[in-house]
Amino acid sequence: MPDIGRIKVGVVGCGAIAQIMHLPHLRDLNELFEIKAICDFSPQLLHAIGQQYSVATNYRFTEYATFLESDIDAVFVLTEGSHAPLILQALKAGKHVFCEKPLCFTVKEAEEIEKVTEKTNKVVMVGYMKRYDPGFKYALDLAKQIENPRYTQLTVLHPSEQQYFDMHGVLRFDDVAKEVKEARIQEHNKIITHAVGNISENLKFVYYDALLSSIVHNTNALRAIFGEPIGVLSTQIWPIDSNYPTINTVLDYGKKHHIVLTWSYLAGVRNYVEELSVYSDSDRIQVKFSSPFLKNVPTIVSQEYMHNGRLVTNKVEVSFDNAFKEELRVFYQCITTNKSVPTDVIDAKADIEILQSILAANQPEGLGGEALARLVTSNDRDSKANKILQPILAVNQPEGPYGEALPRVNASKKS
């Protein structure tokens, strides 16, 4: 591919995030990208989006394999569910990939993507748009200058998305074949079970819809500032039987610094709130993120500190540039100039590990799969407690234990 020129893009998944953000921004950046092809299971949606973005009829696909045979340079994976199968197919077809979060549901999937990415030498970028927000980048520089942070708090109040979809006029059609829907549901459930075991159905939904689809942005931002946590100290979820609960977790960054992350689904008020605060003895920083459903609303960064006995307060609106558009500029640079990908597969894999640890710290009944291994690993600091915990967790997994718990359950059966 030449170093200079427009990248021919194919978009798979023409739902809400494609309609609200990615397709409009790709069109705005027409000096960098050409929307060449689209793919979706819904024929009516394909027709509507194809007309809106002037995509030729022979470049509108319902079959992903045929879509990949077209002369596109990069695939935008914007579908629901785990993106691993679509990413792997795209890489093997010689395409670069931009993938909306989450990358996938399991660490195993992420590791497979990592291997294929290395073999194909193609770009895979995960859409953590907050990392490209000019306001967050400004706050990142400030936060890294704080030598001894004591307490960090990140709070999200998440309203119903449908209110924003209605505001943007998101198109949806009920014309996807029944057998396609059923096959996707079966595959979705299979991967989720591998990730978290046989926990309740509502907590499986929470793992996918809250942790992987929303809180993943928060863990990624925190890791960008502070690096990897030592572990997860606690997680509370309430109401425990709700698909849309409040989640509070405490991340361990050492004896002198803990991070409290609270995510709460509060459907009625159409005001998405996301605030990150970093506190130390000498500095206070607060970041008020803009809504991910609105364009060109600036993230506001505030700072407090003492100077010559006086309290100094700064409040900065860094830029009105949209984070979704900024990440597309970086994606273009990664392909055309070999710029390293800030939010790559390895980065996304680390988020999956932390999110599984967050769920595991709640110790829900039926916990299994990879999340069970996270809970066992998190107790490795106390080997005695670990030996006690493993057989307890192992027998709590009906389809069979995972990792080190396997010999523990076998030993308990012999006794």
Does position 414 have pLDDT exceeding 60, yes or no?
no
Q: What is the pLDDT of residue 409?
A: 42
Cα gap 10→324, rounded to integer Å: 17
Q: What is the pLDDT of residues 28-48, one digit of tens each?
A: 999 999 999 999 999 999 999
Q: What is the pLDDT of residues 318-374, one digit of tens each?
A: 999 999 999 999 999 999 998 999 999 999 999 999 999 999 999 999 999 999 998
Task: Give the β-pairing of 300-307 and 283-288.
Answer: antiparallel
Q: What tokens were used for 175?
A: 């014309």
394 — pLDDT class (breaks 50, 70, 90): low
Q: What is the pLDDT of residue 374?
A: 85
Q: What is the pLDDT of residues 47-70, one digit of tens each?
A: 999 999 999 999 999 999 999 999
Q: Which of 130, 126, 87, 157 has its CA nearest to residue 350?
A: 126
Q: What percent of the chain has pLDDT over 90?
A: 88
Question: Rounded mean pLDDT of 235-242?
Answer: 97
Q: What is the pLDDT of residues 198-211, one digit of tens each?
A: 999 999 999 999 99
Q: At what angle do helices 134-144 and 323-337 cross, to 10 degrees?
A: 80
Cα gap 402→208, rounded to integer Å: 20
Query: What is the pTM assigned to this prediction?
Result: 0.90
CB atoms within 10 A of CB 109: 23
Q: Which of 212, 213, 188 has its CA nearest to residue 201?
A: 188
Q: Which of 60, 27, 57 has its CA nearest to residue 42?
A: 60
Find the length of the chain: 415
Cα gap 349→106, rounded to integer Å: 8
CA dihedral (201, 402, 105, 261) positive or negative: positive
Cα gap 161→271, rounded to integer Å: 10
Does position 408 have pLDDT exceeding 60, yes or no?
no
Does position 395 have pLDDT exceeding 60, yes or no?
no
379 — pLDDT class (breaks 50, 70, 90): low
Does position 243 have pLDDT exceeding 80, yes or no?
yes
Q: Which of 150, 174, 82, 133 has its CA nearest to residue 324?
A: 133
Instruction: Identify the structural domains of the chain with CATH numbers, from first to last.
Output: 7-127+324-341 (3.40.50.720), 131-321 (3.30.360.10), 363-414 (no CATH)
CB atoms within 10 A of CB 112: 17
